[in-house]
Each structure stands twice: as structure tokens, then as C-alpha cells.
Structure 1
Amino acid sequence: MTAGKTIDIQKFIDEKPFSRFQWGVFLISFLIILIDGFDTAAIGYIAPSLLKEWSITKPELAPVLSAALAGLAVGAVFIGPLADRLGRKFLVTAAVVLFGAASLISAQAGSLSDLITWRFITGLGLGAAMPLAVTLSSEFAPTRRRGVLTSAMFTGFPLGAALGGMLAAWIIPQWGWRAVLVLGGVLPIVLAVAMIFLLPESVRYLVARHAPVERIRAVLKRISAEAADAVAFVSGEAQALLSSDAGKRGVGLILSRSYVIGSVMLWLTYGMGIVIFYALINWMPILLKDGGLDPKTAVLVTSLFPLGGVGAVFLGLLMDRFNANRVIMFGYLITAACVYAIGQVVGDLGLLVTMVFIGGAVMNTTQSSLPALAASFYPTAGRATGVAWMMAIGRIGAVIAPFLVAELQRRHFDFAQIFTVLAVPGLVAALALFIKNAFHPTEPEAGTPDPVPGKA
């Protein structure tokens, strides 16, 4: 590269070795998602303690289980468009502080209504932090490794949920359920302090928003010193839009003629996976306890379900090499079969543990890969909104899931019947990806670059 030349930032990121700076961005994003998973799943692990301490019925518990999930949806709806206009770093840091502080206050709740309120506020921060972490991490990733890196980063969510179960089984008998929420508040606040000093703004966002060239150059120099002599930058990403959609960003872009069908199918797919995940995470400890397991064993068995999400790294590799829509579609078909199978082995603890882990591995691997699919589907002008809205609208499934299982219990469905019902969303998710692939068989980024100059 010669002095005074214009740098195509995506080509620059693709050609340079993955730097320690990029690994740092990945690690911080991973930790955000890890703690997000911990705080989101925490309410399910403390649910049996709430039933006992506050003498409430299982149907009364449903609003508590859904409160943070409703907040997740609201937070994600608003954060995406804001991030596409205002940037990623400040908003993701503020979101992490919000859900940490709200979790600390939740630990002091003295009534069901107080806990519902503060869990909703916790959800606002959780819903904002997750899509921004996914977006920021993907925008520093080389094209050839974006699928595997984004999927690997998102494995933090099921790992955090699994960690929550293991810690809750140890913490609750010694210090009570409130200590779980205290831990879920302290960890994100400590992380937010580190983020202020270590996390950069997205360089692709800076170029797309015509930021001063000095600011862009300062970020790229942390990847390679060869950026020091650049005088201008271009985005180097394709935006395969119809002429009528050119110049759109945020909500206008993801709902444009070029993207609307793919967007709707992503929403449906994510929502169906969420129904399965939260129905099992929130209710499995109680269902297993009713099935004869002691409370501690029920929590530990449930914690195996999200642990399997680490397989998303393997699925990310497949997504980088093959048609990503079909890879994930196949995963949901296997998910449907596995969820059904869990319901058939409740009488045998060994088989139950095995099927919970295998079912969780397949389901969470598949679900954890969806943010990578969305991040690669949308261009910079709509990426934060696209990822956030997929998670936000999909979170409707998270709100529905606790009430769905509560209603099935009210109708006296047994363990096997409940899992048969919960297998159906896996089939719906696979169908939605089949439709998306029919309209978008290749990813939009596979075209020619659309130059966006930085200001000198």
C-alpha cells in the first residue's frame, strides 16, 4: 500500500491478520453476551424459590418470567435505529450499565409487582446490549471469518445461561435467590467500566457516517500500521438494493423491497427458536421437580440445555463455506426432533440428562447462529436495526413462551405432551428459512463495493 492512497476498509480488514485489537473487540462482545445470558436466564433458576418464599401459584409466576423478556423486545426495537444514527459504543455501554443497575435493584424487591417492574427495566438493557454487541463484533470481522466469529461470540449467551444455572444451584442454598440477582448486577457494571476505555467505535459505521479521516485512521492503525498513510476511506461493502431503495437506512432499509421478505422470515425464525428456548429455561426446573427430581437436580439438569450452544462455532464454519440459510434450516429440523424426544424419556434420569444436553446442543447451536446470519444479510446502513429488530420482534416468542407452558399445564398436558407442542416451532422456523432462501439464495454483501468517502 502506497502513501496517500484511499483504503477500502473491508478489503483492509480481509487482507490483514486478525489482530490483538480485533480479538479484544471480540472478547468484550463475548463477555457482554455471556453476562446477558446469565441475567436473562436467572429468573428461571430462582423461580422455585419465589414460589416457596412468596407462596404464589405457578400461573402467577408467568408475568415475572415474561417481564424481562418483554423489556428485551422493547429495548431492541428502539436501540437498532438509534445505533444506526448515533453509533455503537456509547449505546452498548449505557445498555450494559442499565441492566446491571436494574438487576441490583431487582434483588431488593419486596413484592411480586416490584420484581416485575425491575425485571422489565433489566430487560430494556439486555435487549439493547445484545444486538449492538453482535453488530459491533461483526463489523470488525473479516468477510471469510464473519460467520464463525459472530457465531462464536454469540455462544456466550447459552454459556451464560448455563453458568447461571450452575451458580444458582450453589448460591441459593447458601445465600438465597437474591444473591443470584446481585451477582447479575455487579458483573455488567464492572464490564462497563472496562468498555469505556477499551471498546472502539465501529470503523464501518464511522466511514458510512462520513466521520473525520483522522478518527477512522486511528482505529484502523490498531489493526495494522499500514493505515497511517491513508488520506481517505471507502466502505467496500455491497448494497444490493433496487434503485428505489438506494439511500435508505435503518428501518426504511430493512423494510425496503430489497430486504422486507428476508427480514420477516428472520423475525419468524428467531421468534420460533425463542419460544423453545425460554419455555424450557423458565419452566424446566419446575416441570422436572413435578416429575420427581429434587430442586437442586432439576436446576442442574436444566443448566445442561443452554450449555450446548458452544456448537455454534462449528455451524459458523459451515455458514462461511455453504449456503447459510440451508445450514441453519437443517439445524431447526433436527431441533424439532430433539425437543420431541426430550419429552419421551422423563422416567429415566440418565436418558433425560443425555437428551437435554443433545437437544440443547442442537437447538442453541442453531439459534446462536441466527445473529451471524442477520449481520451478514444487512449492509452497514441497516445492520444494527436489522439485527436488533430480528431479536426484538422475535422476543414476542419469549413473552408468549411462559404463558404457553402455563396454559398447557392448566389444561393438564403431561410432560411428554408439552414437549410435543414445543417441537412444532422448530418446524415453523425451518419453513421460514426455506422461504428466505428462495428469495435471498445468496448474501447481499457478495456484490461490488459501494464507495463512501471519509472526510479529510
Structure 2
Amino acid sequence: MTTMTHTPTRGPEQVLSEVRKGRMTRFQIITVTIALLLVVLDGFEVGIMAFAAPQIQQELGIGPDVLGYVLSASLFGMAAGSIVLAPLADRMGRRRLTLAMLVVIVIGMAFTVIAPSVGALILWRIVTGLGIGGMMANLNALVAEYSSDARRTTAIAIYAAGYPIGATVAGFVSRPLIPQFGWHSMFIAGTVLAAVALLAAWALLPESLHYLLGRRPAGALEKTNAILGRMNLAPLSELPEQVPAGQENTADKGILREVLTPPTLRLTLALWIGYGLLVASYYFANTWIPTILTQVSGDPQLGTTMGIGANLGGVLGCFLFAGLAVRFSGRRLLFLTLFAAAAAYLLFGLIFSIVPVAIAVGFVLGVLTTAAIAGFYAVAPTVYTFQARATGIGWMIGLGRLVSVAAPIIVGYILAMGIAPERVFIGFAIPLAIAGLAALSLLVGRTATDMAD
């Protein structure tokens, strides 16, 4: 066995370059897998409400307009968590923030179970969303940082599959659980899963090398060398001094400057517009399809089947994007996928009344929209350096979700007015086409690997 020796002349930049240019080690694959499982949890926790919604509406005696607020509550929390909490990872570390967000999710899910009213239900779904939003953008950055250049887009696309996988699992679990034990049982299951995930992350999730080498917190050298050893890389003998006291604000201003000033500003705006319009369309379909089909057909199982089918399509879409990204540019795949998704929404609205065909098109719709979300997750880390990565990704996801919050609510009011659901799907093809144009503009612009990472 070869004994590694300290290498004093080797700096942090060279270490990060070795990670980017080298092969993915077992340790890196395990780290990405842990992140994937945590996002599966996120998808489960959010997806629960779509499948519980028909029974909640019936039990609480609420109309589609009020149900829209219930469905959007977690999305609002996710938006706030992504904007306000995710950027904290650039200051306190990816691991610490992830553990804190898991605690928030456990609390939100547990109190949802005993929510005594619609208002309390909305409140605790917002709290749950805060934890999910803060964690998802942070994990996206962690996956990007532990992936090699050759596999980064593929790894993030696979990571993005975790969300629809979780939502699909929620659908399968809801079929036997809700009819027998009621909608509360789903949130009890979610609470238990979140608690298990918290323990697993505490035991297995590593800190970001980029954070340790960039921020140099207390004990950074020891933690860095422990991680390097598990990646079969030579340890360091020393690190530059951590940011001196009083200069943290200067570092934070540098992050804001990178995200919000040229030349990155144009790319930031394209990410915000494209992702926001995409997830508005995605969450409209994901939250309302089970309820709409249940009401149209009178068969709750049909609505659940359609919801499961769309989410299964989403899983396939992420893996297809991951496979294609090995050979083709992620940015090019993204804008093509968005234009195809716009066409799928238009087609779904036109054949909505033909149920067997609608189910097939709904599956394709899930493939394309979730593949596009995977595309944004893969492209966003290439826009920012590690100092601003969690902030940049968090703001993209957060601002996008702020737009998406309105979609289920607006649709609730539209349906309450008696407008046919198929016309809503046709209307959502327009924002998807605009999102495609925003993604097209991303083809011209620098990447984070063009700069010092």
C-alpha cells in the first residue's frame, strides 16, 4: 500500500483541479448518492399533498380556490428557503445547512399531522417547504463540487431524478395508505422518513471541499485531509489563513457582485426567467392533475394513476437527459427540451378528453418537464464560481418557485369559474416556449470552469 506524504507546494486550486479532472472515486459516488436520496425525500414530502388533496378537500369541505392555497403552501416555503436559507451554505458550510434543514422538515411534517385547521395546515406546509428549499439548492451545489468535469452534468441530471422518484413513491404509497388510514397517515410516514434521513446525513454526508478550502473554517485542514484521503489524493501540509475577522462582509459583497453584475448578470436573468416559467408549468401539472382527473372521471384511482405516470415520466426524463449529456452540451439539450415540453402541453390540452391517450401524453409531459428541470440544475453550477454557487443556484430556485407559487392558486380560481381544464394546459404552453427562448440565450456565455474555481 502506498503511503501518501504531505505536499507543501500543492495549493487549494490544484487540489480542486485534481477533483475536477480526475475519475469519480467511490467516495464521490457515495456522496452524490446520499444527495440523491435526500432529494428523493424532498420529492416525497412535496408529492404527498398532491395525492392527499382530494381527501383533504372532501374532509375539510373546501373549494378549489382554497385548495390552491394548500397546494401552494409548500412551494412558497421552498421559494423562501431557497432565497433566504440556501445562501447561508456559502458561509456556514453545505453539511451544516443540510442537517439544519432536515430538522426543519421533521418539525414541519410532524406538526402537519396534527394541524387542527386549514390555516394551520398551510402554515406547517410552509415550514416544511422552508427546509426543502434550503436543502435542495445546497445539495445541488454539493453534487456539482464532488463531480468530475466529465460527469458533472450527468451526475446532476441523475440527482434531479430524485425529486420525481420521491413523488412517484408518494403516489404508490398513497394508493393503499390513504383509503385505509386517511390522509394523515401519509404525513406520519413522511415524518419518519425525514427523521431517518437526518440521522443518515449526520453520519455520512461530508462537507464541501470547496467550502473548506475557500472559507477555511476552524479545523479545515484536518477535515480536508480526511476527505482527500478517502478520494485517494495526497493531503496538504497547510492552508492559507481563513478570512480575517471583519472581512466577511467583503467576501459576501463579492458573491453578490458575481451574481448580479455583468457579465454574469445576463446569465442570471436567463436562469431566473427560464426556470421560473418552467417550474410554474411543472407544479401546476403535478399538483392539479390527480385532482382534475378525479373530478372529471369520478375515479380517485385514475387521478392517482395519472399522477404516478407523470412522475415516472419525470424519472425517465432525468435519466435520458443524463445519458444524452455525456455526448451533447447540457445547454443545447435544455432549450430543445423546453420547446418540446411546450408542444407536449399543447397536445395534452387538445386530447384531454381521450383518457387513454391523455395518460400517454401526460407521461411524455412528465419526461420533458422534469428533464428540463434537470437541465437547469446541471447548467446553473457552470455559471457561478464556488464562492457564489449556493447563492446563485438558491436564488434561481427560490425566485423560480415564487413564480410557481402563483400557478396552483391561479388555476384554482380559474377552475372555480368553470373554465375547462384542457384550456389551462394549452395556456401553459406559452410560458414554456418563453422559457425555451431564455435557455437559448444561455448558449452564449462563460462557464464557471472558465474562471478560477
| TM-score normalised by length of structure 1 | 0.90
Distance 1:82 1:11 in 2: 25
What's 2:339 paired with? Answer: 333
Give, as a single letter, the amino acid of the residue that structure 1 aligns with 2:229.
K
**Larger CA deviation: 306-315 vs 141-150:** 306-315
Q: Does 1:386 pair with 2:404? A: no
Is residue 149–residue 313 contact of structure 1 (8 Å, CA) maintained in 2? no
CA shift at 1:373, angstroms? 0.9
Q: Does 1:101 pair with 2:101? A: no
Distance 1:297 1:362 in 2: 22
What's 1:267 paired with? Answer: 272
Is residue 41–residue 163 contact of structure 2 (8 Å, CA) maintained in 1? yes
CA shift at 1:326, angstroms? 2.2
Matches within 5 A, 1:191-206: 191-206=197-212
**Larger CA deviation: 37-46 vs 139-148:** 37-46
What's 1:297 paired with? Answer: 302
CA shift at 1:233, angstroms? 6.6
Q: Does 1:215 pair with 2:223? A: yes
Is residue 275–residue 397 contact of structure 1 (8 Å, CA) maintained in 2? yes
Give, as a single letter, the amino acid of the residue that structure 2 aligns with 1:303.
I
Distance 1:317 1:43 in 2: 31
Distance 2:55 2:295 in 1: 14
What's 2:132 paired with? Answer: 126
What's 2:85 paired with? Answer: 79
Q: Does 1:167 pair with 2:173? A: yes
Give, as a single letter, the amino acid of the residue that structure 2 aligns with 1:351.
V
Distance 1:232 1:6 in 2: 9
Q: Does 1:288 pair with 2:305? A: no
CA shift at 1:435, angstroms? 2.6
SS state of the match for residue 75, structure 1? helix
Quote the sequence identity (%).
29
Give, as a single letter, the amino acid of the residue that structure 1 aligns with 2:432.
G
Distance 2:254 2:89 in 1: 11
Matches within 5 A, 1:106-121: 106-121=112-127
Is residue 255–residue 263 contact of structure 1 (8 Å, CA) maintained in 2? yes
Superposition RMSD on alpha carbons, in Å?
Answer: 2.1
Match 1:227 to one of 220, 226, 234: 234
Q: Does 1:342 pair with 2:342? A: no
What's 1:13 paired with? Answer: 19
Q: Does 1:48 pair with 2:67? A: no
Distance 2:263 2:228 in 1: 31
Is residue 100–residue 188 contact of structure 1 (8 Å, CA) maintained in 2? yes
Is residue 80–residue 386 contact of structure 1 (8 Å, CA) maintained in 2? no
Q: Which runs of 5+ in 1 are unaligned?
A: 235-244, 451-456
Distance 1:74 1:3 in 2: 44
Give, as a single letter, the amino acid of the residue that structure 2 aligns with 1:274.
V
Residues 246/131 of structure 1: CA separation in 2 closer, same or farther (3 Å cut): closer
Distance 1:180 1:249 in 2: 44
| TM-score normalised by length of structure 2 | 0.91
What's 1:309 paired with? Answer: 314
Match 2:260 to one of 250, 255, 258: 255
Distance 1:28 1:68 in 2: 23
Distance 1:2 1:102 in 2: 47
Is residue 330–residue 378 contact of structure 2 (8 Å, CA) maintained in 1? no
Distance 1:314 1:377 in 2: 23
Q: Which runs of 5+ in 2 are unaligned?
A: 241-249
What's 2:243 paired with? Answer: none
Distance 2:238 2:21 in 1: 18
Is residue 287–residue 415 contact of structure 1 (8 Å, CA) maintained in 2? yes
Residues 205/89 of structure 1: CA separation in 2 closer, same or farther (3 Å cut): same
Is residue 309–residue 368 contact of structure 1 (8 Å, CA) maintained in 2? no
Distance 1:116 1:362 in 2: 30
Give, as a single letter, the amino acid of the residue that structure 1 aligns with 2:313.
G
Is residue 81–residue 250 contact of structure 1 (8 Å, CA) maintained in 2? no
Match 2:189 to one of 183, 188, 209: 183
Could you give the per-residue CA deviations for residues 161-213 of structure 1, whole angstroms, max 9, x where no partner exists? 12111211221011100011111111111111111121111001111113543
CA shift at 1:320, angstroms? 5.1
CA shift at 1:152, angstroms? 0.4
Give, as a single letter, the amino acid of the residue that structure 1 aligns with 2:410.
L
Distance 1:351 1:335 in 2: 17
SS state of the match for residue 146, structure 2? coil
Distance 1:403 1:14 in 2: 43
Could you give the per-residue CA deviations for residues 202-231 of structure 1, whole angstroms, max 9, x where no partner exists? 00111111354333111111110x413x33
SS state of the match for residue 230, structure 2? coil
CA shift at 1:347, angstroms? 2.8
Is residue 350–residue 426 contact of structure 2 (8 Å, CA) maintained in 1? no
SS state of the match for residue 375, structure 1? helix
**Larger CA deviation: 287-296 vs 185-194:** 287-296
Is residue 66–residue 412 contact of structure 2 (8 Å, CA) maintained in 1? no
Residues 231/320 of structure 1: CA separation in 2 closer, same or farther (3 Å cut): farther
CA shift at 1:418, angstroms? 1.3
Could you give the per-residue CA deviations for residues 253-274 of structure 1, whole angstroms, max 9, x where no partner exists? 2112231111111011111111
Residues 114/44 of structure 1: CA separation in 2 closer, same or farther (3 Å cut): same
Distance 1:6 1:367 in 2: 38
Residues 248/111 of structure 1: CA separation in 2 closer, same or farther (3 Å cut): closer
Distance 2:57 2:321 in 1: 39
Could you give the per-residue CA deviations for residues 229-252 of structure 1, whole angstroms, max 9, x where no partner exists? x33579xxxxxxxxxx99954333
CA shift at 1:321, angstroms? 4.2
**Larger CA deviation: 98-107 vs 341-350:** 341-350
Could you give the per-residue CA deviations for residues 60-95 of structure 1, whole angstroms, max 9, x where no partner exists? 111111111111111111123211111110111110
Is residue 337–residue 368 contact of structure 2 (8 Å, CA) maintained in 1? yes
Is residue 86–residue 135 contact of structure 2 (8 Å, CA) maintained in 1? no
